[in-house]
Chains A and B, each alone.
Chain A
Amino acid sequence: GQQLNQSPQSMFIQEGEDVSMNCTSSSIFNTWLWYKQDPGEGPVLLIALYKAGELTSNGRLTAQFGITRKDSFLNISASIPSDVGIYFCAGQTIQGAQKLVFGQGTRLTINP
């Protein structure tokens, strides 16, 4: 099925470092969503972006909706141990709003 191109696939960083990940698509989306999934749990919404060019923050997290509507990035500043997990981007269209298209995920590992 269709998937977004999410990179990097994995990251190994030191506690306190900043993190950046992004998603690209050949298709236009009306909404970009960023989720975090912990082992054995379902995805939890971190940030939702509804407008091209929009830059939104949620604590140490910042995400942007690309101007072309075909990409988005997520930054995490000053990483802490609880940031460990898998981060997914997801694109949403108006026509199939519940039919989210997900990236492959970025697995974040933090060395204390």
Chain B
Amino acid sequence: KAGVTQTPRYLIKTRGQQVTLSCSPISGHRSVSWYQQTPGQGLQFLFEYFSETQRNKGNFPGRFSGRQFSNSRSEMNVSTLELGDSALYLCASSLDSGAGSGNTIYFGEGSWLTVV
């Protein structure tokens, strides 16, 4: 079955603009989470959505937001882009919001965002 799909794969934006990234989870998966990966900070958790509700949130400013649709697809938005927002944004999906051997977390290939 298809894996986690993220679009776009690459994009370049200008400071002050906003960006929307999209994620389609594995079929049947209802939990979607987002991570930011940078050389300096590594992989940092942004937020998690389950059944269209934000279940958990990392330590990022309010410029970072997300949402989940009824079909479990998710989008994340970054407003008023800063140079430091340049990163690989990874989406991950799992069956539900819990832990355990039946709820493996799978990652997509990521969206590379460059802010100039």
Binding site for B on A (CB under 8 A): 1, 3, 30-31, 33, 35, 40-45, 48, 50, 88, 90, 92-94, 96-105
Contact = CB atoms under 8 A, between A and B. Distances in A.
A99 B99 contact: no
A41 B99 contact: no
Interface string B42-68: 111100101000011011000000000
Contacts of A45: 104-106
Nearest to B3: A42
A19 to B, nearest CB: 20
A99 to B, nearest CB: 5
Interface of B: 4, 31, 33, 35, 41-45, 48, 50, 55-56, 58-59, 90, 92, 94, 97-101, 103-110
Contacts, number: 70
A98 B101 contact: no
A99 B45 contact: yes
B82 to A, nearest CB: 17
Contacts of B103: 97
B105 A98 contact: yes
Given A1-B58, A3-B42, A102-B42, A97 B107 contact: no
A100 B94 CA distance: 12
Contacts of A31: 99-100
A98 B109 contact: no
A38 to B, nearest CB: 10
Contact of A42 (B99, B104, B108): B108
A70 B106 CA distance: 23
Contacts of A88: 43
A98 B29 CA distance: 13
Nearest to B99: A97
Given A42-B109, A42-B110, A99 B58 contact: yes
Contacts of B35: 100
